[in-house]
Amino acid sequence: MDNRILDLINEQMNFEYESAYIYKAMAAYTDDLDLDGFTNWLDNQSIEEIYHGEGMKDFLQSVGYKPVYTTMEAPKAEYENVLDLVKTAFAHEQEVTRRIHNIAKEANGVDERIRSFIQWYIDEQVEEEENFSKLITRLERIGDNWGAMYVLDHELGLRPAPQKPVIG
Ligand code: OFO
């Protein structure tokens, strides 16, 4: 297998774990505002990111590549408000998408096993971006209306803990 592309997957594995860390810090911010639904949603998003990282770790190990764990930056702890937080999360997901597409581009025509493996992540990113993009729209409509905010918060509190997906 092409080690240069496996290195990119290793890098992305670390970025997925870093995403989990970022969402934990975001959950700490919303918990501080007593928005329990947002906190639940972000905590579950963090678990999902761990699973994304695990999928890459499992793949690397299955092809005999020993994963390397790198240093993570301390995540941002403060935001202007919840809309600012969700916009930051959306921008983060766009960056994840860019990196995943880059792996696919590098693997294309070079290693079909890697190209096929990464397809799951390409599809997943469509949903990831859509989730945050919809939240931005809803929060922009809500504005300073805390009654409407609590309706959304209640809804986000219903997100169940994710199951480990079958990847690749
Ligand atoms: Fe793993 O999709 Fe978000 O970061």
Q: What is the pLDDT of residues 113-147, one digit of tens each?
A: 999 999 999 999 999 999 999 999 999 999 999 99
Query: For 27-53, what is each residue's pLDDT tens digit?
Result: 999 999 999 999 999 999 999 999 999
Which one-letter amino acid corresponds to residue 58? D
Q: How many CB atoms lie within 10 A of CB 129?
A: 15
Q: Which atom of ligand 1 is nearest to the CA of 45?
A: 3
Nearest-atom index, ligand 1, CA of 124: 2
The one-letter amino acid code at 91 reads A
* Nearest residue (CA) to ligand 1, atom 1: 49
Q: Is the pLDDT of residue 1 over 80?
A: no
16 C-alpha to ligand 1 centroid (Å)? 6
| pLDDT score of 150 more than 80 | yes
63, amino acid identity:
V
In angstroms, the CA 27 to CA 34 distance is 10
Cβ burial 37-57 (10 Å sphere, 16+ → b, else e): bbbbbbbbbbebbbebbbbbb
Token output for 108: 């294309």
User: What's the rounded Cα separation, in Å, for the pair 86 and 64?
Assistant: 38
Ligand 1: residue whose CA is nearest its atom 3: 93
Q: Give me the pLDDT at residue 2, please.
A: 81
- pLDDT score of 168: 79
Does pTM top 0.85 for this prediction?
yes
Residues with CB under 6 A from ligand 1: 16, 19, 49, 52, 93, 96, 128
Atom number, ligand 1, closest to the C-alpha of residue 52: 1
Q: Are 23 and 46 in contact (CB under 8 A)?
A: yes
